[in-house]
Structure 1
Amino acid sequence: MPRFSSLTQVFLRVGSGLLLAMAVSECTSPPARLAPAVDFNQDWQFVKDIDTAVTAQFFTETTDTAVQWVAVSLPHTAQLEPVVTDKKQWQGTCFYRKFFQVPATDSSKRVAVHFQAAMHTADVYLNGKKLERHQGGYLPFTVDISRQLKYGQPNCLLVKLNNQDNPAVPPGKPLKDLDFNFYSGLYRSVQLLVQDKVYISDPVEAGHTAGGGILLHYEDVSPQSATLRLQTEIQNDAAQAQTVQVRTTLLNEKGEEVGRTQNEAAGIAPGAFERVDQQLSIANPKLWSPEQPYRYRVVVEVLRAGQVIDRQELQTGVRTVRFATDGFYLNGQKTRLRGTNRHQEYPYLGYALSDNAQYRDAWHIKAAGFNFVRCSHYPPSPAFLEACDELGILVMNSIPGWQFFGGTEFQKNSLQNVHDMVRRDRNHPSVILWESSLNETGMSKPYMEQTYQAVHQELPWKEGVYTCGWLDYAYDVFIPARQHSKAPYYWSKYTGKKPLLLCEYGDWEYYAQNAGFNQTAYAGLKESERTSRQLRGQGERALTQQALNFQEAHNDNFRSPAVGDANWLMFDYKRGYAPDIESSGVADIFRLPKFAYSFYQSQYGPAEDRNGFGKPMVYLATYWQPASSKQVVVYSNCDEVELQLNGHTIARQRPDQNVFANKLAHPPFTFAVPTYTPGTLRAIAYRNGKAAAQTERRTPGSAKSLQLSYARLGKDLTAGQNDAVFVYATVVDANGTTVPDATTSVRFSVQGAELVGDNPVQAEAGIATILVKAGVTPGVVQVSAAATGLSSNALKINTK
């Protein structure tokens, strides 16, 4: 347990080697070390599907005709997976190797390799010697190579990966029965750490309960003051005892110093670690919230004989959380959790997303009006959590698991997942819940008790720490799905003593008529008039039905004592047990919004937050063509909406008040258009009697051209990071209106970057999509597209 004494004041930092810092702090961002970690993502070699044991030949650069190594960079997936296929996701054994040198002048340093994640059983070798086996595909591990390294000479690091079904490795369930894919490869970043042998330890590598790295905690938080208490663990790998000090500087967002402290010199025995307790008083703190995600910057330095030997920077947010049966309280204010679920996959690339791509997903979630996300059903990338910190998205962090409870080894590994997840992510201001439960799984009581205790052992505070689980046992917050209770009341009659959060809704209860988990018996039940599983290409009626389902369920959830809810889900995704796309996302697998996206967007605001989200909006949920319904639904977060057709006002009215909308913050507006007339529908939204936003829909004509665009979403396409963006070719008519029933085949051409995926691509709902991945060198990427009978613009993307 932490020894928070009154010694000095604050010290923050995350993890041991620079790299892991990306995932810590009650608020954090990637830290910068005194000697920055070396980006180890370039110049790897890769091979898969070879039936051979590891031999000495693997560690030499001489040509081996038996093994055809391919040059790759990280993050990397072992196989690009098609969007839809009858074949299952690739599973098997693959190898990654990297030749590198560390200068002889660093022979007195600690050298380690940090893996953010590897799917899912990793054997790590250096120069022919096996150093470590790590099991688990979602959390980090660090391998110290100091003793085996040849300083000033070539070295070969080899990683053997296997992602085949393994009942001992969570999620454990065979892929053919799993409701998501876990993909393959070294799909997150790898860094080389070159450090002084006296350093701030990494919390996961250290493996100390409530220890390792920086453990951060806020107390007595108010708008007038706050106390930041922390514990820093310093490891001494040197052969002699060491005497060190810690100096910490706290900066506001302008870079102005608002606090500084330095502790007394402390001695650390060889091979031992020491924990330094500090605290800092913050006057008039700016509190972190989804609307105002203010972050301070902390610079932490470790000194020996007055010289800085280790240094990190991170960003931290000051806030308090409390769950009660009557609501969730953030900074003492009751806050409704309005959330979604997210799978981290991309088409083609699987899990191998750049940090920028992780940020863009978070941007989408915030832009869609959500203030909360559940990381279903595994811990996300550190970069995703950092984006949630920055953009203001509250997070439920989750261990790997879904409908599978394995044996003793599985349970041991799952419990370790709980410890490692908390150690990695404990300092993010965005993380408010720890799902230390296996989703929709029949767990034993001893297991649930252990996983509950693990979180509270790692974070031994009296307040502000909350576990959650889908069974009403052991955990602090009860998180069933809506369909885990029966229609028509669902959870409206819940009288339990725990805070209730509905962690899934809007899909299964419509897909299977509350059929429960018997997916084999109900495999063929797909009633198009009821299901929320609607692809964008299924048309306006399908997208309208999906949006209504989500609206009805979200509205009904307010009749229960739930403190919030999370819909299923944000993005369409692929599953192990089915070849088709699971299409209940409010955006498709290419991140293109459906009508439901705008419904949720209308539930936020209309006051703009500090990141520009939540401002007044209005959206017409129609394509306005002959087959369109004359009942036109408009989504807006404003007081009134006026609908015009070809310049003539049809009506100006207040929001709907019916059984599907009477609990919503901003119900939709449903207009009855007397007769269909082609032309332009315009919606004007009013706030306090003044026009605040407007939009229009024009009846699409015949296809004339392609318009190219790309999804920047707050982050430029960046070279040298395997960064990839979606590029869209939209089929438009002579007026630039999307032709929503176009299924045109589009062929793309890319210069200055790599085109990932299929080419040509068939448009869906008028839009054809590719992924463009930047190369190593910054420059101009040029994209063009061609389709029979259509002209096209050219797209230029400047990479950073």
Structure 2
Amino acid sequence: MRKLLIILSFLYFGQCNAQDSLHKVIAQFAFETPRLSPKPQLVPGVAISSISLSGNWKFNANENNLSKAGNIRVPGEWVMQGFNVKKGTPAYYFKAFSIPADWIGKRIKIKFDGVSSHGIVIVNGKTIGEHEGSFAPFEFDITPAVKAGVNKLEVIVQCETISDTLACTSQYAAHPVGGILRKVTLFTLPELNISDFFYTVRFDASYTNAQLLLNSNLSAETATHGNATLSYILKDASGKIVPLKNSQKNIEVFNYQKTIPVNFSILVNAPKKWNSEQPYLYTLITTLSFNSKIIQVNQQKIGFRQIERRGNQLFVNNHPIKLRGANRHEVHPLLGRSLTPELCKRDVVLFKNGNCNYLRTSHYPPSEEFLDACDELGMFVESEASLCWIQHGASPIWEKWNYLDAKFLPFMVRANVDNVLAGRQHPSVIIWSLGNESRWSPLWERVNTEVKKLEPSRPTSFHDQCWGGFNNAGSKADLANYHYPGFNGPAACEKDKTRP
């Protein structure tokens, strides 16, 4: 008996030490939020500020050889276009593009809205950067590598990498999901530019007037000193300018500053609210001036919408909501996981006609075009990060891998940060889903913390296992989820009075 107690004590303290070590590693983990610039509407001095690179590209499924490359459509899956790429090997995309002469002397960025699942970007033979993770936008500065006139772009893509495995992307689709799945865009910016922007809405106690909280970063990509101004114009749906008492923020820029946070609040009297029944959208125009000269103008749709969690209810604009909806995959019999804007909008119309007011983007972030349609037509969205079945029986890899291994944390955090950065401009997004049907752990707790730090105005949700259990690993997300509940599901959910 004494020997058994000694063994059990050793195992207990061993587990405690392992847990302490895991928590220490997680606490020491540092993550830098990637840049995802708002695309400019106007950059004075250039004829056009952005160029689409979508369309026909060259593609080689076997080797880095342009002379033996065939034609492929971007965006698109390679499997859906008749190409087979051997597992564990990359495929090669090639594209020639021209830089307008009036872009020289400015910053030049390239943005990919989704590459599955690992991409390396090369411009004129120079490696610019790489990204791991499908269905999420990312950007690189290519200024040092480009020249006026014709340039050569190469993208080395490999599917079924670590992010694909953690998301069960190809497993779920029942085929290798590989390719440049979403649009590719070049755009130019001034040397001092708006590198980040998002907004939140806070109504007063009567939910009549609202504070429009504007959060921006200015980036000085070369040493700059002077006076910058951010000014804002708000237009209603008819194009009429909304009177604003205070709509300008002055900022002094110093040579040593690379990134300058700018937070500003504007009072808007009695704005029309956005909800799924009345999806009213305003247009916000942001103008950046430097030393009294306009250098950048941005334009975007916004909705006045506030989300709150009170006990076990979810409120939008002070009204409790009941979500009626479905899971939605971006899928088409001929296009696979790469849909056109028209198909995205048609999906929203179909669900609206089916009396749905809510869609969960299982199991990855949706496209910008889909969220635009949800904003316009009125559809609540739970935007899900590209993570699925971590320590779940449906994913056989966890028979070999340890779901508590901290080496997975950077990929889990990046998948969620990418999701938030892609969707936080859209009033239709009301919930951040951390991932699908996985087992809660200290890693997920850190993920939840990072999401709340980055974007606290929306609640987080977590699908903590399924099949015979509900929140059976202690999820700390804001919203609880019960999948496949059966007849007793509502009664089981009612036991949790602390969260929806």
2:270 counterpart residue number: 284
Give the letter for the 1:470 counterpart: H
User: CA–CA distance in 1 between the matches of 2:124 and 2:36?
Assistant: 27
2:91 aligned residue: 94
Aligned: 1:195 with 2:189: yes
Cα distance in 1, alignment partners of residues 205 and 252 from structure 2: 30
State the match for 2:455 in structure 1: 459
Say if 2:273 and 2:303, in contact at 8 Å, map to a contact too. yes
CA contact (8 A) 1:268 1:274 kept: no
Would the aligned equivalents of 1:251 and 1:259 in 2 still touch at CA under 8 Å? no
Q: Distance in 2 between matches of 1:309 and 1:221?
A: 38
Report SS of the residue matched to 1:388.
helix
C-alpha distance in structure 1 between counterparts of 2:221 and 2:438, whole Å: 42
Q: Verify the 8 A CA contact 1:135 1:169 in the aligned structure 2.
A: no
Name the residue aligned to 1:585. none
Equivalent in the alignment of 1:794 = none
Letter in 2 for 1:199: N
Q: Which amino acid aligns with 2:421?
A: R
Match of 1:320 among 306, 316, 332: 306
Partner of residue 247, structure 1: 231
TM-score, normalised by the number of residues in structure 1: 0.52
CA displacement at 1:243 relative to structure 2: 2.6
SS of 2:74's equivalent in the other structure is coil
Over residues 120-168 of structure 1, what are the superposed CA-to-partner deviations in whole Å (9 max), with x where a residue is unaligned? Answer: 1101111112221111111111111101112x242101001111x2235
Q: Distance in 2 between matches of 1:39 and 1:182?
A: 30
Would the alpha carbon gap of residues 335 and 68 (structure 1) be closer, same or farther in structure 2, given more than 3 Å must change?
closer
| Partners of 1:402 and 1:393 in 2: CA distance | 24
- Match for 1:397 among 372, 375, 383? 383
Q: Distance in 2 between matches of 1:490 and 1:456?
A: 28
**Offset from partner CA, 1:534-590 (integer Å, 9 cap, x none):** xxxxxxxxxxxxxxxxxxxxxxxxxxxxxxxxxxxxxxxxxxxxxxxxxxxxxxxxx
Q: 1:77: Cα distance to partner?
A: 2.1
Code of the residue aligned with 2:69 in structure 1: it is Q
Give, as a single letter, the amino acid of the residue that structure 2 aligns with 1:159. V
Q: Partner amino acid for 1:129? A: K
1:144 paired to 2:144: no
Match of 1:377 among 363, 370, 375: 363
Q: 1:408 to 1:166 in 2, by over 3 A?
A: farther
Q: CA deviation at 1:90?
A: 8.3
Look up the match of 1:76.
76
- Report the 3-state secondary structure (helix = DSSP H, G, I; strand = E; otherwise coil) of the residue aligned with 1:99: strand
1:15 CA drift (Å): 5.1
Residue 290 of structure 1 contacts residue 394 of structure 1 at CA under 8 Å; is this kept in 2? yes
The amino acid that maps onto 1:39 is: I
**Aligned pair in 2 of structure 1 residues 101, 167: CA closer, same or farther (>3 Å)?**
closer
Cα pair distance change 1:482/1:350, threshold 3 Å: same
Query: Residue in 2 aligned with 1:269?
Result: 255
Of the candidates 470, 484, 489, which is equivalent to residue 463 of structure 2? 470
Segment drifting more, 267-276 vs 414-423: 267-276
Aligned counterpart, 1:745: none
Compared CA separation, residues 474 and 43, structure 1 to 2 (3 A): closer
Tell me how far apart the structure 2 counterparts of residues 328 and 387 of structure 1 sit (CA, whole Å): 23
Counterparts in 2 of 1:302 and 1:432: CA distance versus 1, 3 Å: same
Counterparts in 2 of 1:279 and 1:174: CA distance versus 1, 3 Å:
closer
Q: How does 1:194-593 map to 2 (within 5 A)?
A: 194-201=188-195, 212-220=196-204, 222-260=206-244, 261-269=247-255, 272-405=258-391, 407-436=405-434, 438-444=435-441, 446-460=442-456, 464-471=457-464, 472=471, 473-483=475-485, 488-494=487-493, 495-500=495-500
1:167 aligns with 2:162: yes
Structure 1: distance between partners of 2:142 and 2:41: 21
Question: Offset at 1:229?
Answer: 1.4
Distance 1:326 1:440, change over 3 A: closer
Contact kept in structure 2, 1:78 and 1:94, CA below 8 Å: no
Contact 2:117/2:163 (CA < 8 Å) preserved in 1? no
* Conserved 8 A contact 1:217-1:229: yes
Judged with a 3 Å threshold, the aligned counterparts in structure 2 of structure 1 residues 266 and 194 are, in CA distance, closer, same or farther, namely: same
Q: 1:450 to 1:195 in 2, by over 3 A?
A: same
State the shift of 1:170 in Å.
5.3
Partner of 1:183: 177
Q: Which has the higher contact order (CA 8 A, sep 6+)?
A: 2
| Root mean square deviation of aligned Cα | 2.6
Gaps of 5+ in 2: 1-34, 392-402, 465-470
> CA 1:108/1:81 → structure 2, altered by over 3 Å: closer, same or farther?
closer
Q: Is the 8 A contact 1:469 1:480 kept in 2?
A: no
SS in 2 for 1:491: helix
State the partner residue of 1:16.
37
| Mapped contact 2:227–2:250 kept (Cα < 8 A) | no
Give the whole-Å Cα distance in 2 for the aligned partners of 1:355 and 1:299.
24
User: Are the aligned partners of 1:231 and 1:278 in contact in 2 as well (CA < 8 Å)?
Assistant: yes
Task: Provide the secondary structure at the position in 2 that maps to 1:147.
Answer: helix
* Higher-helix-fraction structure: 2
* Structure of larger gyration radius: 1
Preserved CA contact (<8 Å) 2:136 2:365: yes
Q: What residue in structure 2 maps to residue 766 of structure 1?
A: none
Mapped partners of 1:459, 1:169: distance in 2: 25
Post-superposition Cα deviations, 1:30-52, rounded to whole Å, max 9, x if no partner, equal x63435543333454222321x3
Alpha carbons of structure 1 residues 89 and 160: separation in structure 2 relative to 1, 3 Å? closer
Partner of 2:126: 129
Deviations 1:242-301 (A, max 9, x none): 431111101111111113412224214356111222111111111111111111111100
2:116 is equivalent to residue 119 of structure 1 = yes
Say if 1:477 and 1:498, in contact at 8 Å, map to a contact too: no
Cα distance in structure 1, aligned partners of 2:224 and 2:488 = 68
Residue by residue over 1:461-491, the C-alpha shift from the partner in whole angstroms, topping out at 9 and shown as x without a partner, is xxx43111122321111012134xxx55233
The alignment partner of 1:300 has SS state of strand
Q: Is the 8 A contact 1:117 1:189 kept in 2?
A: yes
Structure 1 residue 157 and structure 2 residue 157: aligned? no
Q: In structure 2, how many angstroms separate the alpha carbons of the residues matched to 1:170 and 1:33?
A: 40
Distance 1:465 1:229 in 2: 14
Tell me if 1:40 matches 2:15: no
Query: Is the 2:169–2:177 contact (alpha carbons within 8 Å) kept by the matching residues of 1?
Result: no
Can you list the C-alpha shifts for 1:323-371, whole angstroms capped at 9, x where unaligned? 3445332211222111111000111111222222211111111111100
Question: Which letter maps to 1:429?
Answer: P
Aligned structure 1 segments of 4 or more residues deviating by more than 6 angstroms: 87-90
Q: 1:317–1:105: structure 2 CA closer, same or farther, 3 Å change rule?
A: closer
Residues 478 and 498 of structure 1 are in contact (CA less than 8 Å); yes or no, is this contact kept in structure 2?
Answer: no
User: What is the letter of the counterpart of residue 157 of structure 1?
Assistant: L
Distance between the aligned counterparts of 2:239 and 2:487, measured in 1? 55
Residue type matched to 1:184 in 2? Answer: G
Question: 1:718 matched to which residue of 2?
Answer: none
Residues of 1 paired with 2:169 and 2:281: CA distance?
Answer: 42
2:166 maps to amino acid: P
Q: Which amino acid aligns with 2:453?
A: Q
Judged with a 3 Å threshold, the aligned counterparts in structure 2 of structure 1 residues 38 and 74 are, in CA distance, closer, same or farther, namely farther
Give distance in 2, aligned partners of 1:394 and 1:182: 30
Aligned residues between the structures: 438
String of CA shifts for 1:87-139, please: whole Å, max 9, x gaps: 99986632221112224443210011111111111011111122211111111
Cα separation, partners in 2 of 1:89 and 1:365, compared to 1, 3 Å? farther
Identity of aligned residues (%): 24
Instruction: Give the SS at the match of 2:96.
Output: strand
CA distance in 1, matches of 2:340, 2:173: 24
